[in-house]
Amino acid sequence: MNNHVRELRTLLGWSQADLAEKLDVSRQTVNAIETGKYDPGLPLAFKIAKLFERPIESIFSPGEQA
The number of domains in the chain is 1
- Give the range of the structural domain holding residue 36, as residue numbers without chain letter: 2-56
- Tell me, yes or no, whether 63 lies in a domain: no
pLDDT number for residue 66: 46
CATH number, residue 30: 1.10.260.40
pLDDT number for residue 64: 62
Mean pLDDT per block of 10 residues along the chain (66 residues) reads 96 98 98 96 98 97 69
- Tell me, yes or no, whether 34 lies in a domain: yes
Q: Answer left, alpha or beta for residue 62, where phi above 0 means left and psi between -120 and 50 means alpha.
A: beta
pTM of the model: 0.90
pLDDT number for residue 63: 76
What burial class does residue 49 get, using C-beta atoms within 10 Å of its C-beta: 0-12 exposed, 13-18 middle, 19+ buried?
A: middle
